[in-house]
Structure 1
């Protein structure tokens, strides 16, 4: 069994690694780009914009939501997603610091 030693790193490094992992697929980058341009978007609208199946879009949305970069709100029968503005701004700051 693998043992994670993440607790031995600074909180900032753990957070940026979580964001980077969430952005490690081009579909997720595209989703962030689409969501950052609008207030909110339904999953079905994202499916229409991306060249991948609905189930795959849903999996990518879950990864982004788990990382904290996006939020999802269930409004039956749909799920509406939006950028988590606080974490989005934090990611921008952390990545800028990392690559300066």
Structure 2
């Protein structure tokens, strides 16, 4: 995400933007699905599953961490990645709020 004037946006707007960025690449979307299905995954296994090199997977992990969607723990020469279920559900709940629902316009209204 580029530079932004944080004082122009609420914390909710910033966190939703980070959530959107986390899902803006198919590899990160797949990583979330893997974590939802398996709970925890090693970074080496994630590289193998996504058929990507370590540096590319690391960059995707960093973006997911910025959105606070995952936890990363170091364990003897490897990283274990787990989904932050609480924040994942919080984001989904925020997206379901009326704020994010489209407004209905009558046939006579103009945009």
- Tell me, yes or no, if structure 1 residue 38 matches structure 2 residue 38: yes
- For these two proteins, the number of residue pairs brought into alignment is 99
Per-residue CA deviation, residues 39-89 of structure 1 (Å, 9 max, x unaligned), is 211001111111322211111011101210001000011100000111111
**TM-score of the aligned structures, taking structure 2 as reference length:** 0.79
Tell which structure's C-alpha radius of gyration is larger: 2
Structure having the higher helix fraction is 1
Structure 1: state its 5+ residue gaps: none
Higher RCO (C-alpha 8 Å, min separation 6): 1
Q: Which residue matches 1:19?
A: 19
Alpha carbons of structure 1 residues 90 and 53: separation in structure 2 relative to 1, 3 Å: same
**Unaligned 5+ residue runs, structure 2?**
103-111
CA separation of 1:3 and 1:33: change in aligned 2, threshold 3 A: closer
The structure 1 segments of at least 4 consecutive aligned residues displaced by more than 6 Å after TM superposition are none
